[in-house]
Amino acid sequence: MKVSCSNFQANVNYPINTDTEPDTCPRCHRSIHPKLLGAYAHPEKHICQLTYRCANLSCQEVFIANYATPLLRRDSETAGVLLSTVPLSALPSNFPETITECSPVFVQIYDQAIAAESHGLDQMVGIGMRKALEFLIKDYSCLEHPDKEEEIKKSLLGNCIKDFILDSNVKACAKRAAWLGNDETHYVRKWTDQDISDLKMLIKLTVNWIDNALTTKKYLSTMPD
Ligand SMILES: [Zn+2]
């Protein structure tokens, strides 16, 4: 299709390959056939911005699709290439109830770190993940050792994992997540072969093992031998 892009000088009929139209809403992340609202050219930036509205009735948010326009000119035959869709809303996390009840602040910080990532603030993500991990481990430790709450709150994360996490799987994954989390906050990295995706995976494993431990404990207490 061709869209008429208006700019300050003139209207430009600009071809857009319909195969490259956004098929996912950046606000609600559903698959969609978006409704085109308008198109605006930025010749000096070599982009054309198309405004769309999400067709999903429960969303209906407006968003912008940025197209590269290397040959932006009147009746150009070169189809635009979709670069990005903005604004991007972070998908809400879907942690199990055991985790949201054990450490609501962990969920809050983790979601903020993911939101930072969706806004391109990549340097903030690891720092947020490291803080989220500390809340998860300390809240879980306090749940397991209510009589040691003050000691747990004051302890360093590494010591807390060593002294108060008894489940061997939680301990092993949390320890490694803390190593990578600390790397995110320091000038020199110790773990150069690992990155933020490994930190996310280790936090996910830690969450899963804590969920297993808490769910198992619940069933053992409600259904004793
Ligand atoms: Zn939507």
Which class for 128: exposed (0-12), middle (13-18), buried (19 or more C-beta within 10 A)? buried
| The last residue of a domain, from among 49, 66, 86 | 86
- Ligand 1 centroid distance, CA of 118 (Å): 16
Banded model confidence at residue 43, pLDDT cuts 50, 70, 90: confident
pLDDT value at position 80?
Answer: 73
| Structural domain containing residue 191 | 97-222
- Ligand 1 centroid distance, CA of 200 (Å): 26
Q: Count the domains in the chain.
A: 2
pLDDT, tens digit, for every residue of 159-202?
Answer: 999 999 999 999 999 999 999 999 999 999 999 999 999 999 99
- Ligand 1 centroid distance, CA of 117 (Å): 19
- Ligand 1 centroid distance, CA of 219 (Å): 40
pLDDT value at position 19?
Answer: 72
Question: Do both 115 and 217 map to the same domain?
Answer: yes
* 148-156: average pLDDT: 97
Question: Do both 82 and 103 map to the same domain?
Answer: no
Question: Do both 61 and 124 map to the same domain?
Answer: no
- Ligand 1 centroid distance, CA of 197 (Å): 26
Please name the residue ranges forming H helices in the chain: 97-102, 104-118, 122-144, 149-154, 157-164, 168-185, 196-222
Q: CA-CA distances (angstroms) from residue 24 to 28, 90, 149, 222? A: 8, 13, 46, 44
pLDDT, tens digit, for every residue of 88-133?
Answer: 888 878 999 999 999 999 999 999 999 999 888 999 999 999 999 9
- Ligand 1 centroid distance, CA of 32 (Å): 8
| The last residue of a domain, from among 33, 66, 86 | 86
* Predicted TM-score of the model (pTM): 0.76
Percentage of residues in the chain having pLDDT higher than 70? 88
pLDDT greater than 60 at residue 215: yes
Banded model confidence at residue 59, pLDDT cuts 50, 70, 90: very high
Q: Per the domain annotation, does 30 fall within a domain?
A: yes
178, 154 Cβ separation under 8 angstroms: no
28, 58 Cβ separation under 8 angstroms: yes
1, 18 Cβ separation under 8 angstroms: yes
pLDDT greater than 80 at residue 69: no
pLDDT greater than 60 at residue 147: yes
Q: Per the domain annotation, does 91 fall within a domain?
A: no
